[in-house]
Structure 1
């Protein structure tokens, strides 16, 4: 039987939760997002590749949100370091581990999309490529 691909969303989310104790980390925007700031939403997006050995090269969208622009920017930059360090340290989850990290774009401020940006919501977005391997 071929190895099953690891759950990249779970690996990335757990690694970010481990390194970002002051922020809420989710895979999707919660309905009560305003009550959960500062917030990091990290999930896999289309793209990337996998192979028969169960190695998954995934594109990860990471959005950082806070009530203050400077705080949102810093959270996005810290989330980048946490994820990069987790990959370098081969962060291990229940069904796999992270092993490589690469910047694709960002972090950059976004003012469009949902939820709508305003005087109490600032968002920064970045895309990273991570490699996940099964245990």
Structure 2
């Protein structure tokens, strides 16, 4: 999913965790899995993804949050494939909405918007002969 976001976003840093030098990476997108979701024996993973978008300007942070939503939904619609599988379904859970609490602290040079999405990922399983099996 992070690779799909990197592919779909230009000019933004995409990370899984907040870097210590976050101010050097603005505009910044931090996308990570949160508890919840489910998986099954076939390896299909329904994950809850927390996405935070940060920029030095409130309007830019809000715009970035909306662009991330479209990029992730589009990657799922097109079944974006990474090295371990592909994305197949996208659903809004919450947001995007501005957050002014937490770390790093909000200020005149940091604005953050947060959203939560449900994303389904399906594995690519090798079968005899080396051909992938799409689930």
TM, length-normalised to structure 1: 0.91
* Cα deviation 1:46-78 (Å, max 9, x = unaligned): 000000110000000000000000000000000
Tell me which of 8, 30, 33 is aligned to 1:19. 8
Task: Number of aligned residue pairs: give it.
Answer: 124
Question: Using the alignment, how far apart are the partners of 2:97 and 2:3 within structure 1?
Answer: 23
**Aligned residue for 2:110?**
121
**Aligned residue for 2:40?**
51
Please state whether the residue corresponding to 1:18 is helix, strand or coil.
helix
For residue 132 of structure 1, report the CA deviation from its aligned partner. 0.3
Higher normalized strand content (fraction of residues): 2
**Aligned residue for 2:21?**
32
Question: Using the alignment, how far apart are the partners of 1:25 and 1:74 within structure 2?
Answer: 15
Tell me which of 112, 120, 133 is aligned to 2:101. 112
- Following TM superposition, the consecutive aligned residue runs of length 4 or more in structure 1 with deviations greater than 6 angstroms are none
Q: How does 1:39-118 map to 2 (within 5 A)?
A: 39-118=28-107
For residue 120 of structure 1, report the CA deviation from its aligned partner. 0.1
Which sections of structure 1, spanning at least 5 residues, go unmatched? 1-11
For residue 21 of structure 1, report the CA deviation from its aligned partner. 1.3
TM, length-normalised to structure 2: 0.91
**Aligned residue for 2:120?**
131
Which sections of structure 2, spanning at least 5 residues, go unmatched? 125-135
Q: Which has the higher contact order (CA 8 A, sep 6+)?
A: 1
Question: Using the alignment, how far apart are the partners of 1:118 and 1:28 within structure 2?
Answer: 20
